[in-house]
């Protein structure tokens, strides 16, 4: 996507230095810092500490992590078991996003088909880049399919702004290009449709106020940052026409794991008869499970992410520290929205309702 006139992605292979490079999203929107990933440990750190985050991007980073493992100086010539153990370490970096397992396994499979070590490195590199380019195209298609949903609302409103609420960051920073939840927004905006986005700040790491607001601002999309708890109120007062969120893992029956707080937005949308769509590439479906509440692992992150709230106050960084001696904190990073609260899915193969039958109508190859 273009940022200040320059094409930008959250991850790329720098040909000059022959290094995988990423935007360190922990410093956005204040600073644009680029980080090299030279080792598997660098890659695991980047995923675990959310230097990179967002399901498709985590999958792409894991995919390149397999290539990095093969080219890492002290790994060259390592046997299959060692490569498989490094891939297991990569997959253990974060538990919820399905894309991580999909991306690593896909590149590992491509590599193991080559006996010659040099050919193995090339196969891993080519497959990882294929993952990246396919996910970029998939998000572009999500935008194209989601456009009609926004267009229809715009027509019903005689061109008045379509007010869309989103949670966390499911933008190009979470993917490669376009994003998932933001892809229909960017596509509608680029097609001249008047859109406005309500951006949930998304505590505790503020992916909405830090990342989604930055993205939308750079693209020129009108948006308003709100507290996480304001969503129900603005829905009740007719200020939201549509909710679109991303997902980290969705079951074959349509249960959706996404950033903590998504479930509450889905409940409020249902109560106010507001369409609630989930945008995802097929790499985010977990085809092996149906019951998301029972079977999707929910990441629990360091409670200090709650205890420390960074912000500028009179020019100084102020941290609000909840003393651990007196206050516990629980930091569940995701929740699961049951399919019954989801209006539909926007995928690279089209839009469908949130039922196993409708999902499989788009992905017949996944029928058991
Ligand atoms: C398009 S996937 C984006 C998805 O990932 C985010 O989680 P995190 O920032 O912890 O990686 C959030 O759930 C987004 O919806």
Q: How far apart are CA 5 and CA 171, in angstroms?
A: 18
Tokens standing for 362?
A: 């788009």
Instruction: Give the distance (Å) from ligand 1 centre to CA of residue 77.
Output: 36
**Kind of pairing between the strands at 344-347 and 276-279:** parallel
The model carries a pTM of 0.96
CATH number for region 2-134: 1.20.120.420
Ligand 1 atom at minimal distance to the Cα of residue 259: 13
Among 55, 296, 342, residue to substitute to test ligand 1 (most atoms within 8 Å of Cβ): 55
CA atoms within 13 A on the CB side of 177: 19
Q: What is the mean pLDDT of residues 82-109?
A: 98
Contact 56, 281 (CB under 8 A): yes
Look at residue 331 and tell me whether its pLDDT is greater than 90.
yes
Q: How far apart are CA 10 and CA 171, in angstroms?
A: 10
Instruction: Give the distance (Å) from ligand 1 centre to CA of residue 246.
Output: 7
Instruction: Give the distance (Å) from ligand 1 centre to CA of residue 115.
Output: 36
Q: How far apart are CA 105 and CA 84, in angstroms?
A: 9
Structure confidence by residue, pLDDT tens digits, 155-176 = 999 999 999 999 999 999 999 9
* Exposed/middle/buried for residue 251 (C-beta within 10 Å: 0-12, 13-18, 19+): buried
CATH number for region 146-366: 3.40.50.10470
Considering only CA atoms, which residue is closest to atom 15 of ligand 1?
Answer: 246
Residue with tokens 């960051």: 169
Considering only CA atoms, which residue is closest to atom 13 of ligand 1?
Answer: 259
Q: How confident is the model at residue 263 (pLDDT cuts 50, 70, 90)?
A: very high
The pLDDT score that the predictor gives to residue 328 is 84
CB neighbours of residue 129 within 10 Å: 17
Ligand 1 site, CB within 6 A: 53-56, 168, 170, 174-175, 180, 207, 245-246, 248, 258-259, 333
Q: Where in the chain is the domain with CATH 3.40.50.10470?
A: 146-366
Instruction: Give the distance (Å) from ligand 1 centre to CA of residue 58.
Output: 9
ipTM of model: 0.99
Q: What is the mean pLDDT of residues 96-105?
A: 98
Q: Where in the chain is the domain with CATH 1.20.120.420?
A: 2-134
Quote the Cα angle for 67-349-127, to 5°.
10
Helix, strand, coil % in the chain, rounded to nearest 5 = 45, 20, 35
Considering only CA atoms, which residue is closest to atom 4 of ligand 1?
Answer: 54
The more confident residue out of 192 and 319 is 192
Helix axes 80-91, 55-71, angle to 10 degrees: 150
Tokens standing for 29?
A: 């929107």
Cis bond leading into 29, ω under 30°? yes
Q: What is the mean pLDDT of the chain?
A: 95
Ligand 1 atom at minimal distance to the Cα of residue 258: 13
Q: How confident is the model at residue 319 (pLDDT cuts 50, 70, 90)?
A: low
Among 61, 247, 263, residue to substitute to test ligand 1 (most atoms within 8 Å of Cβ): 247
Which residues are annotated as catalytic? Answer: 248
Q: 99 in the Ramachandran plot: left (φ > 0), alpha (ψ -120 to 50) or beta?
A: alpha
Instruction: Give the distance (Å) from ligand 1 centre to CA of residue 261.
Output: 12
Look at residue 321 and tell me whether its pLDDT is greater than 80.
no
Q: What is the mean pLDDT of residues 114-120?
A: 94
Considering only CA atoms, which residue is closest to atom 1 of ligand 1?
Answer: 170
Query: In a 3-state reduction of DSSP, which class is residue 228?
Result: helix
Considering only CA atoms, which residue is closest to atom 7 of ligand 1?
Answer: 54
Ligand 1 atom at minimal distance to the Cα of residue 167: 15
Binding residues for substrate: 53-55, 94, 207, 258-259
Structure confidence by residue, pLDDT tens digits, 19-32 = 999 999 999 999 99
Look at residue 312 and tell me whether its pLDDT is greater than 90.
no
Question: Who contacts 127 (Cβ-Cβ below 8 Å, separation ≥6)?
Answer: 63, 106, 107, 110, 111
């Amino acid at each position: 996507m273009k940022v200040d006139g320059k094409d930008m992605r959250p991850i790329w292979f720098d040909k000059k230095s022959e290094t995988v490079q990423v935007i360190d999203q922990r410093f956005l929107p204040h600073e644009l810092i680029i980080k090299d990933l030279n080792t598997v440990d660098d890659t695991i750190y980047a995923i675990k500490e959310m230097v990179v985050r967002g399901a498709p991007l985590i999958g792409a980073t894991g995919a390149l992590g397999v290539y990095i493992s093969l080219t890492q100086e002290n790994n060259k010539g390592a046997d299959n078991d060692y490569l498989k153990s490094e891939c297991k370490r990569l997959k253990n970096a974060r538990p919820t996003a399905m894309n991580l397992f999909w991306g690593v396994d896909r590149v590992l499979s491509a590599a193991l088909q080559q006996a010659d070590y040099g050919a193995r490195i090339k196969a891993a590199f080519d497959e990882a880049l294929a993952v990246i380019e396919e996910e970029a195209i998939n998000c572009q298609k999500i935008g194209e399919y989601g456009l009609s949903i926004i267009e229809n609302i715009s027509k019903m409103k005689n061109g008045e702004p379509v007010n869309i609420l989103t949670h966390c960051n499911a933008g190009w920073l979470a993917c490669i290009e376009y994003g998932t939840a933001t892809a229909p927004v960017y596509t509608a905006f680029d097609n001249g449709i008047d859109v406005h986005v309500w951006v949930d700040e998304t505590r505790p790491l503020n992916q909405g106020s830090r990342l989604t607001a930055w993205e939308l601002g750079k693209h020129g999309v009108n948006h308003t940052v709100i507290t996480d708890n304001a969503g129900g109120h603005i829905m009740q007062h007719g200020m939201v026409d549509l909710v679109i969120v991303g997902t980290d893992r969705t079951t074959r029956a349509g249960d959706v794991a996404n950033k903590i707080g998504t479930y509450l937005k889905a409940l409020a949308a249902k109560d106010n008869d507001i369409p609630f769509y989930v945008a995802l590439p097929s790499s985010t479906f977990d085809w092996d499970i149906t019951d998301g509440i029972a079977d999707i692992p929910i990441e629990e992150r360091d409670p200090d992410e709650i205890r420390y709230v960074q912000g500028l106050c009179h020019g100084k960084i102020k941290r609000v520290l909840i003393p651990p001696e007196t206050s516990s904190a629980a930091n569940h990073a995701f929740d699961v929205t049951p399919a019954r609260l989801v209006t539909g899915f926007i995928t690279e193969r089209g839009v469908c309702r949130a039922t196993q039958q409708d999902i499989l109508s788009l992905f017949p190859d996944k029928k058991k």
